[in-house]
Amino acid sequence: MVKSSVEDWLCKLRTNVKTVFGMPDYEAYLERHQRVHPEKPPLSRQEFYTQYLKDRYDSGSPTRCC
């Protein structure tokens, strides 16, 4: 049981670190996708990150403050 709580804590820590640095979280995507679109297959990990990069850098708007 202790191992499970440590793994939970590490998972939450990883999610928070990714959020701080603006990185997408594939596991959070999978959880939300299952809740919102259970009838559709989710993107693969590679497709998810490719879509994230495309959305972020091909938008035509600046990606930095200065």
Q: φ, ψ for residue 36 (rounded to 5)?
A: -90, -40
> Coil, strand, or helix at residue 8?
helix
**Which range, 2-6, 10-14, 48-52, has the best average confidence (pLDDT)?**
48-52
Q: Looking at residue 22, what DSSP letter applies? A: T
**Residue type at position 54:** K
pTM summary value: 0.63
Q: φ, ψ for residue 50 (rounded to 5)?
A: -65, -45
pLDDT-derived band at 1 (thresholds 50, 70, 90) equals very low
Residues with Cβ < 8 Å from 49, sequence gap 6 or more? 24, 26
